[in-house]
Each structure stands twice: as C-alpha cells, then as structure tokens.
C-alpha cells in the first residue's frame, strides 16, 4: 500500500502549554519503527494502515515528544537490499534523525520473519541457518553502531519448537551460547561501545520458546563468556503472558544490575502477545512498575530508555497511531506523578517504614557460631508476633485512592 502523508490534528490537542504530562525528549521515551509503523496485519486479516516511511516516523515521533527511535535491521533496510540501496537509506535516515533531533538508543536483528529462520536462527539444526544468522546479526550490529545505538537486543522469537523431539533443548542452549559468545567477541574485536540485552518470551510464534522468562535469561547470562556486557530487556506482555509479576522480574534484573533496557506495553494474562498501549490493561501493575523504575519508594532508579514495544489497535488510522503513542507516554508520566505523591504521603510512609529490631538484625546475615548461638537464645514471642496486624488493607486502599485520583491529586 502506498504511504499516505497525513498531518494529524490530534497533535495540537495532545500538547498545550503547561501540560505536566506532555512528553518531552528528557523523558527518554522511545518507539521501534515496527511499533508505530505496525500496519495492523494479524493472523486473521491483512494490513489496515499504509506502510510508514522511516523518515516519516522520525518526524512524527519528534512531533509527539519522543526521545528516540529503535529498529530491526529489516525495518530500515529491506531484506535483500544492495549495499548502494542500504547506504542511501541510512544516509536519508540519519538526516531525518538530525533534522528532528531524535537518537537511536537500541537496535536489533530480525531473525524471525524470513522463512529461512522457520526453525530458529542461532538454535537451528542446520549450520547454514546458524551461519546466516550470525552473518545477518554482524551486519545489523554494524548498522546499529553506525546509527549510535548503545544497546543491542536479542529476541529469539523463532528459537523454540513445536515437535520437541526435533532437538535436545540442551543443544539449543549450547548453540545460542556459542552465537552470543561469538557476537560479544565481534563487538569487542571492533571496539564497539555496545551492550547486549536479551529479551524473553514464553511462546508465540513458536509453541515453546527457549529461555521463556527474564529469570531464565538471567541464569543463561551467567553462563556466557562475556557475561558482563550482557543484560536483559524484559517486556511487560511477555512475563504477563506466563501469569508472572512483571515488576518482580524487573526488580530481580535491577538487583542484579542487569536491567539494560525495557519493553513497555500492556497485556491480559493468558492471551496471545497483545502489545497494547502502556497502562491500558492492568493499571495497578503499571503503577507498581513505574514506582519501581522511578525509585519513588527510595530504591535505585532506572535511567535507561523507556521503550514502548507496542502498537495501536487494528481499528485505528494513522491519527489513531499517534494518539496511541502519545497515550503510552502520557500514561507513564501520569503514573510517575501518582507514584511520587503516593510515596510522599505521610500515612503511606508510616505504613511502609521498615520494622526494626536492633538486637536481632545484626544476627540475620554473615553467619558465625556466636550469631547462631544468639539466635537460638533470642527471646521471640512467636504468638505475639503472629497476632500483629500488618495494615496492608489500608496501604492498598491508599494506593487505590492515589491511583483513582481522590488522594494526593
Ligand atoms: C518483540 O517483543 C521483540 C521484537 O519486536 C524486538 O526484537 C524486541 C525489541 O523490542 N522485542
Ligand atoms: Mn510483545
Ligand atoms: Mn519486545
């Protein structure tokens, strides 16, 4: 479908002077070319929107107040392009980035669309496929570095199986480890300032995808040769598909200093990967995630790009796509403001202050025989401790009232 150029009126209604939730580049919001450029095609219907030229996407994201744009290699340079075509496309894209003040914080490789990857890329049983996947990824890393990317994401969408007898899962892990060790060495050999971020997903498009959650990825990273340069890129929808707490997955990544990037969107448990507008489903979980990332309760803050790996409903035209993009960013900023108010609320601070015990706390870590003896001898009134009410009902109601805007607005 030919690309339609539309000047949407929505942009004027979205941003007015003094609007505290108007997105700005300092908020570090990013979108992939494939997200706002999603044409609405799904397994049961063809595209409903025209393909967007990357240069048009850059201009519109800048207009919406975004900080940056991310890409798979094929999003920018169509598969099979000649070197001359590639260089022309990259030149024009770089000019659009400069003209509109957008950056490219993250890049990645499409190792899932082309039929050659139908049984995986790095984990494929065919060495020719694994060789082609490495070659395609090296070229895509070069492209990402040329555009200024500092984070390189690996989402193994086809690294999985349906007929699980097709390969020993241990062999699949070994092949993926070999590929990542090879590519980490490629980055180091070329002196690139680049870190890798591994993105987990439990299934779809494969019946089961290897390394299905962020937890699996964190262990896998510890087995890599160059593990210091490899972190994770958790996605809301992917952990939620498995019925897991996304905030807990992110917290474990932050605690391990491995949250190198993040994919924000919305999702209902037990459904296919919906990649919905951020915050549009489970507002409580979105609030708790933003509270964690923004560090409003006192913990460390996430300072990397806030990437929305999401797309507009299939019902939308291009104007609706930019409403979608603005909605992602505005909702994040609104929830951040609610989290600041919640953690500044004196009653919340009272209810969440740590329970202290100056006698027992020194005994709870750093084993010694003396500490063990003191623990055995400690006077702990178990029935009295067990009978204590923790007032979490009040705390959670306060969170609800902050979220619903009847408190701390
Ligand atoms: C899907 O969730 C994946 C791909 O879109 C991309 O490789 C990665 C980066 O956001 N997310
Ligand atoms: Mn997804
Ligand atoms: Mn993603």
Which one, of 130, 134, 124, lies nearest residue 160 by Cα?
Answer: 124
- As a whole number of angstroms, the distance between CA 21 and CA 310 comes to 20
For ligand 1, what atom is nearest to the CA of residue 154? 7
Which one, of 25, 319, 107, 341, lies nearest residue 327 by Cα?
Answer: 319
Cα 346-347-349 angle, rounded to 5 deg? 65
Q: Respond yes or no: is residue 248 known to be catalytic.
A: no
**In Å, how far are 208, 238, 245, 369 from 213, measured between CA atoms?**
11, 8, 11, 39
Q: Which pLDDT score, from 0 to 100, does residue 206 have?
A: 98
Q: Using a 6 Å CB cutoff, which residues line ligand 1?
A: 32, 34, 108, 153, 155, 199, 235, 263, 309
Q: Which pLDDT score, from 0 to 100, does residue 18 have?
A: 87
Q: Coil, strand or helix: which one is 161?
A: strand
Contact criterion met (CB below 8 Å) for 156 and 121? yes
Q: What contacts 340, CB < 8 A, 6 or more positions away?
A: 294, 296
Q: Which pLDDT score, from 0 to 100, does residue 353 have?
A: 96
- The residue from 27, 73, 74, 75 that is catalytic is 75
Which one, of 98, 109, 117, 44, lies nearest residue 73 by Cα?
Answer: 109
How many C-beta atoms lie closer than 10 Å to residue 337's C-beta?
Answer: 18
Instruction: Summarize pLDDT for 365-390 with one digit per residue, the tens.
Output: 999 999 999 999 999 999 999 999 99
Which fold is adopted by the domain 10-343?
A: TIM Barrel (3.20.20)
Strands (E), 158-311: 160-161, 195-199, 208-209, 230-232, 263-264, 306-308
Q: Which pLDDT score, from 0 to 100, does residue 13 have?
A: 41
**Torsion, CA 84, CA 89, CA 91, CA 96, rounded to 10:** 170
Q: Respond yes or no: is residue 19 known to be catalytic.
A: no
Cα 199-203-204 angle, rounded to 5 deg? 100
Domain ranges of the chain: 10-343, 346-403
Phi, psi of 305 (to 5 degrees): -65, 145
pTM recorded for the entire structure: 0.95
For ligand 1, what atom is nearest to the CA of residue 112? 7
> Can the peptide bond before residue 205 be classed as cis, meaning omega within 30 degrees of 0?
yes
Tokens 């498009």 belong to 205
CA atoms within 13 A on the CB side of 43: 5
Q: Report the nearest-CA residue for atom 5 of ligand 1.
A: 309
For ligand 1, what atom is nearest to the CA of residue 273? 2
Ligand number, closest to the Cα atom of 69: 1
3-state helix, strand, coil in the chain (%, to 5): 50, 10, 40
- As a whole number of angstroms, the distance between CA 273 and CA 364 comes to 42
- As a whole number of angstroms, the distance between CA 123 and CA 135 comes to 15
Which one, of 162, 110, 117, 161, lies nearest residue 137 by Cα?
Answer: 110
Task: Kindly give the parts of the chain with pLDDT less than 70.
Answer: 1-16, 409
Q: Which pLDDT score, from 0 to 100, does residue 326 have?
A: 98
Q: Report the nearest-CA residue for atom 6 of ligand 1.
A: 155
């Amino acid at each position: 479908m030919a690309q339609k150029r539309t000047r949407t009126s929505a942009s004027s209604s979205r941003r007015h002077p003094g609007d505290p939730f108007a997105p700005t580049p300092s908020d570090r919001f990013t979108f992939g070319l494939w997200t706002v450029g999603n044409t609405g095609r799904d397994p049961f219907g063809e595209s409903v929107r025209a393909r967007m030229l990357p240069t048009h996407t850059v201009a519109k994201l800048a207009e919406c107040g975004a900080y940056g744009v991310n890409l798979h290699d094929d999003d920018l340079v169509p598969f099979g392009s000649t070197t001359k075509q590639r260089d022309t496309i990259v030149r024009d894209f770089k000019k659009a980035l400069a003209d509109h003040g957008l950056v490219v914080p993250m890049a990645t490789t499409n190792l899932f669309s082309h039929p050659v990857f139908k049984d995986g890329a790095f984990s494929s049983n065919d060495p020719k496929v694994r060789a082609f996947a490495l070659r395609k990824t090296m070229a895509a890393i070069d492209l990402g570095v040329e555009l200024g990317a500092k984070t390189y994401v690996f989402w193994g969408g086809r690294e999985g199986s349906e007929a699980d007898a097709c390969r020993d899962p241990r062999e699949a892990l070994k092949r993926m480890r070999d590929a990542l060790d090879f590519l980490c060495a490629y980055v180091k050999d070329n002196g690139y300032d680049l870190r890798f971020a591994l993105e987990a997903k439990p299934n779809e498009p494969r019946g089961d995808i290897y390394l299905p959650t962020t937890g699996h990825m964190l262990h896998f990273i510890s087995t890599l040769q160059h593990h210091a340069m490899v972190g994770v890129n958790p996605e809301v929808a992917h952990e939620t598909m498995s019925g897991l707490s996304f905030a807990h997955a992110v917290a474990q990544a932050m605690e391990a200093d491995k949250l190198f990037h993040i994919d924000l969107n919305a999702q209902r448990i037990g459904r296919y990967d919906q990649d919905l507008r951020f915050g549009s489903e489970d507002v409580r979980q979105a609030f708790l995630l933003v509270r964690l990332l923004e560090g409003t309760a006192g913990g460390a803050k996430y300072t990397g790009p806030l990437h929305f790996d999401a797309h507009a409903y299939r019902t939308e035209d291009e104007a609706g796509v930019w409403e979608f993009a603005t909605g992602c960013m505005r909702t994040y900023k609104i929830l951040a403001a609610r989290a600041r108010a919640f953690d500044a609320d004196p009653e919340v601070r009272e209810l969440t202050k740590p329970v202290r015990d100056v006698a027992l706390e020194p005994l709870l870590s750093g084993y010694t025989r003396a500490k063990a003896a003191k623990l055995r001898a400690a006077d702990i009134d178990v029935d009295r401790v067990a009978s204590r009410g923790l007032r979490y009902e009040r705390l959670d109601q306060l969170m609800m009232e902050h979220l619903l805007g009847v408190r701390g607005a």
